[in-house]
Amino acid sequence: MLRSLRVRLVTVMMLLIILMLAVMGVFLAGGVATHHINAFAGQMEEAFTLRLDFIGALRAGAGADDPPAALKEILTGHSALLGIDNLQRNFYILDAKTGAFLAGSDEQKGAALELTPSILTVLADNTKPAPIDARIGAGYMDFAAPIEGARGVYIVYIKDTNESSQELISQLLSVVFETLVVGVAMAIVLSLVLSKAITTPLERLTRGARRMASGTFAEGAAVAVAVESDDEIGVLTSTFNDMARELQRTLEEVGSERDKLGTLFLHMTDGVASFTRDGAPLQANPSAERMLGCHFSDMPRYDEVLGDVAPLAEVLALCEEPRFLLKECERGGRRLLISLAPFGREGIDGIMAVLHDVTEQHRLDEVRREFVLNVSHELRTPLTNIRSYAETLLDAKDLPPETASSFTQVILREAERMNNIVRDLLSLSRFDYGKLDWHVASFPLDEMLQSIHAAMLLEAERMRHELTLSCQSPLFLTGDRARLEQVVVNVLTNALKYTPAGGRVEVSASQTGDTARIVVRDNGIGIPKEDLPHIFERFYRVDKARTRHSGGTGLGLSIAREIVEAHHGVIDISSVSGEGTTVTISLPVEGEGAS
């Protein structure tokens, strides 16, 4: 209860008021009492020490016929001097030997008069007055003085009951009390108002801080607390608002970074998986799940997943830079390069595995190696032939002219083959580096096919093939005519080449929608199913010995595909071994042409 600022403030204010008024009451009461005492003492001193006429009159009274009556009369005559009011202050004339009451301003009180210390002092020594007895809280003030006259010694005794001062004090105290009640009431009201002024913004700040602590503002809700004054609380509130804004901005930045990292984690092609020190799976992104062949929810422990790549203990023990292990392994037919490293802020919390699929890289390396091997092999065969025939020509000087001529023919043919290979390789490398000039224009496809048909007809007849052409007319295409002609000639040459004598080769062309389709169909030897996926690879040949003999380089279809794809078209090959092959070239009619 007392921990509330409001209650504390009210209590302090109340105590302050009570304390102030209590001190005031004490001082006022003390002041009033002292004033009365001083006034009494002053009056007594003046009358019985300084006023010689009064003292003389008293002494004369003590020598009169009836001294008590004479003294009473003198004292009554000097009531003003002595402050006698016959109520609180009275005078009494006493016998100096016995202290018996003889006369006085109040006979009744005189009869019941007690022998106070002052009276007793004068009774003991009749020669001098007793000291004035006036003390705070004594209940009365009195003074006794011996008066010696011709008829004996009498005691003049003045006694003040102090009632007026006590009455004044009690009135003052009641005023103080009333002030206290009003003051306390006002203090309560004022301190409530004041404490409300202080605590309301503090409560608002507390609510803001609670909202902040519960993370509400991270979801976009405003945390700002209204600043309603420019005092210390106002400064505190605006500082709080600044802090909340800064914190919100920082949290938003952190959140956005976290989102970015989360998105990266989800969509990165490399797999990332983490495990605890004990090998339990912590996290795995979809790529890691795919590469490791298991979903995170049922991912086994590290030992089962990657234990064969590197034991958990070995990774955890990595303490010298570079703190990671690079290993390769096979998973589900894919080659993975795995980097394993321990992580943790203080000590090691677990291990992180980054999985990189290097299957394609391996395949490309393999293709590159094979390519270099193929190129060397393809060039070495004609070179060897050229060399051996040239050496024979040089060595055997007496060769019959027909033999020498046929040797020269072989050298020429082999040189031509080498030339073709180098030409095709150059074309391919130009495709690879995009360094080809394309001459794009709209041209009649039907006319192009007719001229190819006419040109190939002789070759077909030589091989006793039936070569037919059926073409939708007119049929226009936009592209590089010369290169598209090269594609069709290559495909058609293959059809004639790989069809045994007396076969049938059909060329047809038509347009469906925006696509022109050129189909070359033969009933030749066909392509085995397992070779079909590789048929567009460079230097790929089904029957290497046979096709080489027939003059093929194994690059024709690769070049054809590059050209068709540069025209945004598709070249497709379907074949049944022993039954024949169909090559379909689909090209957009109004394509932007080769790019």
How buried is residue 340: exposed, middle or buried, by Cβ count under 10 Å (0-12/13-18/19+)? buried
Least separation, in Å, of the C-beta of 360 and ligand ADP? 23
Q: Which stretch binds ligand ADP (CB under 6 A): 58-66, 199-207, 283-291, 555-563?
A: 555-563
* Contact by Cβ (8 Å): 157, 146: no
Q: Helix, strand, coil proportions of the chain in percent (round to 5)? A: 55, 20, 25
* Out of 67, 68, 183, 556, the residue judged to bind ligand ADP by CB under 6 A: 556
- Write down the least CB distance from residue 543 to ligand ADP, Å: 6
Nearer to ligand ADP, 195 or 581 (CB): 581
CA distances from 250 to 236, 241, 340, 377, 560 (A): 21, 14, 32, 64, 57
Stretch that binds ligand ADP, among 133-141, 323-331, 369-377, 491-499 (CB under 6 A): 491-499
Of 159 and 417, CB closest to ligand ADP: 417
Residue 571 interacts with ligand ADP (CB under 6 A): yes or no: no
Rounded Cα gap, residues 204 and 266, in angstroms: 42
Cα-based distances in Å from 590 to 17, 515, 519:
101, 8, 19
Stretch that binds ligand ADP, among 33-41, 256-264, 551-559, 563-571 (CB under 6 A): 551-559
CB closer to ligand ADP out of 403 and 419: 419
Residue range at the interface with ligand ADP (CB under 6 A); choices 73-81, 88-96, 219-227, 494-502: 494-502
Distance of CA 440 to the CA centre of its chain: 57
- Classify residue 131 by its DSSP letter: P
Label the pairing between strands 89-95 and 152-160: antiparallel
Residues 511-550 that bind ligand ADP (CB under 6 A): 522, 524-527, 535, 540-543, 547
Closest contact distance (angstroms) between CB of 551 and ligand ADP is: 7
Contacts of 234 (CB under 8 A, 6+ apart): 201, 227, 228
Closest approach of ligand ADP to the CB of residue 565, in Å: 15
Of 446 and 562, which CB lies nearer to ligand ADP in the complex structure?
A: 562
Number of residues that bind ligand ADP (CB under 6 A): 22
Site for ligand ADP in 573-592 (CB under 6 A): 581
Question: Helix or strand or coil: residue 346?
Answer: coil
- The DSSP code for 538 is T
- Contact (CB, 8 A) for 483 and 517: no
CB of 527 to ligand ADP, least distance (A): 5
Query: Could you write out the DSSP letters of every residue in 213-282?
Result: HTTGGGGT---PPP---SSHHHHHHHHHHHHHHHHHHHHHHHHHHHHHHHHHHHH-SSEEEEEETT--EE
What are 21's two structure tokens? 């008024």
The only residue of 146, 552, 588, 593 in contact with ligand ADP, by rule CB under 6 A:
552
Question: How many other CB atoms sit within 10 Å of the CB of residue 258?
Answer: 12
* Choices 104-112, 270-278, 472-480, 489-497 (CB under 6 A): range interacting with ligand ADP: 489-497
Cβ closest to ligand ADP, residue 117 vs residue 578: 578
If one asks whether residue 557 binds ligand ADP (CB under 6 A), the answer comes out as yes
Rounded to whole angstroms, the Cα distance separating 133 from 40 reads 10
Which of 45/579 has CB closer to ligand ADP?
Answer: 579
Site string for ligand ADP, 441-480 (x = CB under 6 A): ----------------------------------------
Closest CB 582 distance from ligand ADP, rounded Å: 9
> Does residue 553 bind ligand ADP (CB under 6 A)?
yes
Task: Answer yes or no whether residue 382 interacts with ligand ADP by CB under 6 A.
Answer: no
Least CB distance to ligand ADP at residue 478 (A) = 25
Sheet holding 570-576, edge to edge: 466-471, 504-512, 515-522, 580-588, 570-576
Least distance (Å) from ligand ADP to the CB of residue 429? 16
Which member of 503, 554, 591, 593 binds ligand ADP (CB under 6 A)?
554
SS3 288: helix
Q: Which residues bind ligand ADP (CB under 6 A)?
A: 490, 494-495, 498, 522, 524-527, 535, 540-543, 547, 552-557, 581
